[in-house]
Structure 1
């Protein structure tokens, strides 16, 4: 049996190798992702529900809709690296389809030769028995098809010469029109063609070179600070349109290295290295963040206050070592709550840690983890509110903490008070986080302003494109249709 592979737009899906290739780059896929993309390619343009995909791709195995959603998300993430994430189209309340030019290619497994193509043109044949009357030769062919031994009289020769000249003029005219048409079409295409290398000067792509908890936490801290003090949008997800790339890595001697590279001018705008010492960490990171923000804003008068939010260096060092709430495979890190509870035991009045615990638990609860419960979430909320009541002013709270208060009021059905906390959060930051827009969307949903709610959800997904964000937009506090 021949191997069946697929040419999808400019990419080649090799099913036997679980690989997707484009322009010399090769990405290895998980077998289930290969099978999903292969099935959609075989049925290009057809919309499939999650249940239908489970039947066809997972062979009817007992898996949840969440597995399909996660697989679609992972497939899109891979396609985004190839600038092809527009292939997979979500049809609201129906399912998914592949929107791309697909060509099925069959390969002989013994020789490696291509046998046939699904979208190939009609096959040619050397059998002339069914061709009927031959198509007449063109003008230039007829002009030169006269046998040499058949020399016409002079009068006939003149007529033939005139006829040849007419044919030549006709051919030249046709060729000239064809050349002019091709030149005009080429000019029109070049004039209207999109600029592939167009970069967004206000977009920063944050890259980390390892899965270190510290490195990821520092990257998230930088992202939060950029949102609070600049107009730059940043993301830890690859973005080929980003005007700047912020690279972070930690060397063996525990030194943090940061490099801000300008993808438009092709030069480095900012470079810095610092030693991650537990007793001086707050001062070092605060100085680093100030320098970075001043470089981006071109304003040396800008002062970043309370960044990092945790001012105790020893506690900050432990906080940066926390695992991420959601791992790379979209699964909940069970140790997250255990570790953050240990930090809270050592610092029970730190409102930021209390807010992070509350939000983290609400996210886990929304993702339907059976080890969580609403009573526990309410207890965490009481700890947070009790600590906040001791604060002199809500305006001194960071936007993340205010978002946690807004979420708590939304759970209790206090819409006006939830909106009040969100308004304060908006005042505390130049830009708002994905969680802010999710909560704003929930409030608009309650007010039956569904179109505006969906716009807020779209902003949240743009700021934090992940499976977690999709689930929160749909199911946080209540199910949104």
Structure 2
């Protein structure tokens, strides 16, 4: 049923077309924001918690408190547009939730119409009232009106009533039998569930290129580009990207778009060559928004990465901000071979186990020796080494040298605006048990970049503070951003063992059902 139009403050809300309007100004909102505003309107002046909003607005989606906070922020921004700065529509009630403070007006109910039966009764009463002058009804007529109809014997009426009751009970018994047969039927139920696709959500998937003999050697490059795309869009746009390059479960997705990366054989000149195919599909109508194929060599890796980012910016109508361009200029090397080596070492960091971190540290040392100006490689090596220290403590001299390198890194220009610098500090503080300082550092890192690793570290800090509910929210956010075995390993094993069944039971149930 179509939802009615209503007013919230100065705005006229039309849910059917996802619009809010007032004289001289109209805003088109995303469906989830309209649903959120409608739910608030049904509960004016009522404090609604995040859990209530998730249960009633995001009914079939798995979201976290971060998504609710972001949606509230977007809704506030839309309601304040149009020059109405003084009006506060949605207020935050600390430690409880949110409340709609503006007035709500709903359309009045339609007046009940006079039933035909009532009209018939009034029409039949008129002749009786007109039987005598002045509207008096003769006593005999009144008594006759209460008596049974003339010409029908009383026993016939009694039999008729008995048959009516018998038919009623027979129909009732038939309904009970049919319900019982349906309940005990062995046929599997036919489900007709439909998923509501979110056009601002994107899944990145890596399709195994079995037709290519050398596709696996390029896998780390694809994983690195996918992580760069997801963190960039999640940080500097309103899109929510799920990096599923490590996720092999083919479960139903509510994402409106899919970015599929696949290695395919294609004739190149006079021979078959392996190409990286990149295709962005709109899942609402299965239309292809972007279709590119790249022939990867040692020298063109940086150019392919830049071209792909530029193409995504165009088709998604998402201009990259200057701060992101500057960040890429600082963190991406000019040489393609350096980028390839960096992505291989970064893949080992993502794996997270002790052997992988040891290999990653050695690879980053080789990269730094060959490309000393590659600043981001220095940063990533420090992160790897401080993680190794959390698994197997270094000697006092080695740890002192590591802290000296961290201080030198922090003195580099603009390093305090890089998320990885605060990740390094947060890991070091977690190892030292300085929970409050680690909490401040990882929140600064999240402010600079929305990445899965940041939320794993945040979850560990919450666990150390004894706040398991907040830790679970952080872990689910991390798994939502990059689902797969790598993220799961980090949640379970980084710094200290985390019991998934006790701390994040939803994630434990999800993994069990998927397997």
TM, length-normalised to structure 2: 0.48
Once the two structures are superposed, the pairs formed by residues 159-170 of structure 1 within 5 Å of their partners are none
Choose the corresponding residue for 1:228, options 229, 232, 237. 232
> CA, structure 1 residues 226+470, in 2 after alignment: closer, same or farther (shift >3 Å)?
closer
CA–CA distance in 1 between the matches of 2:476 and 2:415? 29
Q: 2:258 is matched with which residue?
A: 245
Once the two structures are superposed, the pairs formed by residues 125-136 of structure 1 within 5 Å of their partners are none
Contact 1:208/1:248, CA 8 A, preserved across alignment: yes
Once the two structures are superposed, the pairs formed by residues 55-454 of structure 1 within 5 Å of their partners are 173=171, 177=175, 195=193, 197-201=195-199, 202-210=201-209, 212-230=216-234, 231-234=239-242, 235-236=244-245, 237=247, 238-242=249-253, 243=255, 244-251=257-264, 253=273, 255-296=275-316, 298-300=317-319, 304-305=324-325, 306-307=327-328, 309-314=331-336, 315-322=338-345, 324-325=347-348, 332-333=355-356, 335-361=359-385, 373-375=393-395, 378=399, 381-382=402-403, 384-397=405-418, 399-429=419-449, 432-454=450-472
More helix by share: 2
Q: 1:37 is matched with which residue?
A: none
Secondary structure of the corresponding residue to residue 477 of structure 1: coil
Q: Deviations over 1:277-310 (max 9, x none)?
A: 44443233123113214423x2346565144832
Compare CA radii of gyration and give the structure with the larger one. Answer: 2
TM, length-normalised to structure 1: 0.51
Q: Deviations over 1:392-424 (max 9, x none)?
A: 233442x23432232123223444543343233
Q: CA RMSD in A?
A: 4.4
> CA, structure 1 residues 418+215, in 2 after alignment: closer, same or farther (shift >3 Å)?
same
Instruction: Give unmatched runs, 5+ long, in structure 1.
Output: 1-164, 186-190
CA–CA distance in 2 between the matches of 1:173 and 1:446? 64
Contact 1:319/1:343, CA 8 A, preserved across alignment: yes
CA–CA distance in 1 between the matches of 2:352 and 2:334? 32
Instruction: Give unmatched runs, 5+ long, in structure 2.
Output: 1-162, 184-188, 210-214, 266-272, 500-515
Secondary structure of the corresponding residue to residue 233 of structure 1: strand
Q: 1:110 is matched with which residue?
A: none
Q: Deviations over 1:11-44 (max 9, x none)?
A: xxxxxxxxxxxxxxxxxxxxxxxxxxxxxxxxxx
Contact 1:208/1:219, CA 8 A, preserved across alignment: no
> CA, structure 1 residues 357+327, in 2 after alignment: closer, same or farther (shift >3 Å)?
closer
1:172 offset after TM fit, Å? 7.8
